[in-house]
């Protein structure tokens, strides 16, 4: 029997051993799903603290309960830092970061380093699936030659697919099982094996003609959002100058049953996808002498939004006769979106830095972060401030940057001296609220 048929049979009969490399916001839910449907799953991560936490039944991601982790451990899940375990796996799914470097160019070092760590332990009869967002051609140009350099024929001995992650942390309407899965194979046989791998865990699998097409699909999804959010952020600035409520306008436009999708403005873009992914295509497009003007313009608009918020703060302070320098400012919410414990690329942190640079005293309040988390490029030696009548009195203004559901908006409005609302939560012309 061919390696392809053996692998497909292992997946269909749930006898395959699944490996997930990278146990973060993408890898951990995927691990839990494969465990839930009855597969033996091994999770591999270079972070020993994560591995120790999972092995102890602890969760380090807010919307994933410890009960789920403990159940997975009780039903055979193992977490390890040992890459030699790859040799016993039938499927290796890579869920590692793909950030931008300081020049806003793709940094796929995590992908390459992970593949290099896997190579000594790869064997015939395995499938390797990359889920990390990247530029079209990564699978073919970076993974394929490394794997074939080991003497394994891709499409015959071993199978290589690209299947982009599609997670929306904090969204209760969707989970790993219910989000359709894109799968592109390096060969037709690779695609067939990839489909068999994911069909066991996901309700709907969408097979594409190539890994490149799947890589481009992921970028299009997030570029679509980035461009439209950039558009509505620019519209917000224009509407504000004209004295028009942009949120009222978007709500009204959304009543059109065709041809319009509502996007709402905010203080900028955050998270591990939308602020980053468009620039993967921008970078790759230069190889083909193409200038991606829409993508780059939307990036400029979205990166400028924290400055717009702080300008509104400066104006609001001036209106009450106070300079920003020396004032005490509270930033509400440092997560990049509501109801999640994730600060990657958060515009709230950019706002905090701009306030600090203007010599004001900045503090924050966020129930997901009792202490300011470790970040690669940002540092604040702060803990989360409580939201009480007494604590709010010491602040000259608060900036509503992330609208967690746990924030009591009425209480805040009644007790804050000044609110800079960057999320459009106050709609009734409250006297102490300035829209940003």
Each residue of 134-163: pLDDT tens digit? 999 999 999 999 999 999 999 999 999 999
Average pLDDT over residues 38-54: 95
Residue 106 DSSP label: B
Contact partners, residue 42, CB within 8 Å, separation at least 6:
17, 18, 19, 20, 77, 78, 79, 80, 85, 88, 89
Question: Sheet of 419-421: strands edge to edge?
Answer: 361-365, 328-332, 397-400, 419-421, 433-435
pTM higher than 0.75: yes
Do 11 and 195 contact (CB within 8 A), yes or no? no
How far, in Å, CA of 401 to CA of 346, rounded? 10
Query: Which class is 3-212 in CATH?
Result: alpha beta
pLDDT for 410 beyond 80: yes
Report, as an integer, the average pLDDT of 332-358.
94
Q: Where are the domains of the chain?
A: 3-212, 277-435
- By annotation, the residues acting in catalysis are 273
Q: Vertex 343, ends 251 and 311: CA angle to 5°?
A: 60
> In this predicted structure, what is the pLDDT of residue 272?
67
Mean of the pLDDT values across residues 331-350?
93
Highest CATH level, class, for 277-435: alpha beta
Domain 277-435 in the same topology as domain 3-212: yes
Cα dist from 207 to 192, 197, 199, 203, whole Å: 8, 12, 11, 13
Could you tell me if residue 137 is left (phi over 0), alpha (psi between -120 and 50 degrees) or otherwise beta? left
């Amino acid at each position: 029997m061919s390696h392809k048929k053996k692998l497909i049979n292992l997946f269909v009969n749930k006898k395959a051993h699944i490996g997930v490399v990278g146990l973060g916001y993408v890898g951990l839910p995927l691990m839990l799903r494969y465990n839930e449907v009855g597969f033996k799953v091994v999770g591999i991560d270079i972070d020993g603290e994560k591995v120790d936490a999972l092995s102890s039944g602890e969760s380090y991601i807010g919307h994933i309960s410890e009960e789920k982790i403990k159940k997975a451990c009780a039903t055979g899940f193992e977490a390890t830092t040992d890459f030699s375990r790859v040799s016993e796996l039938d499927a290796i799914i890579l869920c590692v970061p793909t950030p931008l470097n300081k020049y806003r160019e793709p940094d796929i070092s995590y992908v390459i380093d992970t593949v290099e760590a896997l190579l000594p332990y790869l064997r015939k009869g395995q499938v390797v699936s990359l889920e990390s967002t990247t530029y079209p051609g990564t699978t073919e140009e970076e993974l394929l030659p490394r794997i074939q350099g080991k003497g394994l024929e891709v499409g015959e001995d071993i199978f290589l697919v690209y299947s982009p992650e599609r997670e929306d942390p904090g969204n209760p309407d969707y989970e790993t099982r219910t989000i359709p899965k894109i799968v592109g194979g390096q060969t037709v046989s690779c695609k067939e094996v990839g489909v068999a791998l994911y069909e066991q865990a996901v309700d709907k699998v969408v097979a594409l003609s190539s890994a490149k097409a799947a890589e481009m699909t992921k970028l299009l999804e997030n570029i679509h959002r980035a461009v439209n959010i950039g558009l509505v952020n620019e519209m917000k600035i224009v509407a504000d100058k004209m004295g028009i409520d942009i949120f009222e306008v978007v709500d009204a436009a959304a009543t059109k049953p065709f041809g319009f999708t509502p996007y709402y403005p905010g203080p900028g873009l955050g998270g591990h996808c939308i602020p980053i992914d468009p620039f993967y295509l921008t970078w790759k497009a230069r190889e083909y002498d193409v200038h991606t003007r829409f993508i780059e313009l939307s990036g400029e608009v979205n990166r400028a939004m924290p400055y717009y918020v702080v300008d509104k703060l400066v104006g609001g302070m001036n209106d009450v006769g106070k300079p920003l320098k020396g004032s005490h400012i509270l930033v509400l919410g440092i997560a990049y979106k509501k109801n999640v414990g994730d600060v990657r690329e958060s515009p709230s942190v950019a706002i905090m830095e701009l306030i600090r640079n203007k010599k004001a005293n900045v503090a924050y309040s966020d129930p997901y972060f009792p202490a300011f988390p470790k970040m690669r490029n940002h540092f604040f030696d702060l803990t989360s401030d409580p939201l009480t009548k007494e604590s709010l009195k010491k602040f000259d203004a608060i900036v509503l940057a992330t609208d967690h559901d746990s924030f009591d908006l009425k209480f805040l409005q009644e007790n804050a001296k000044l609110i800079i609302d960057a999320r459009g939560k106050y709609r009734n012309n409250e006297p102490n609220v300035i829209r940003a």
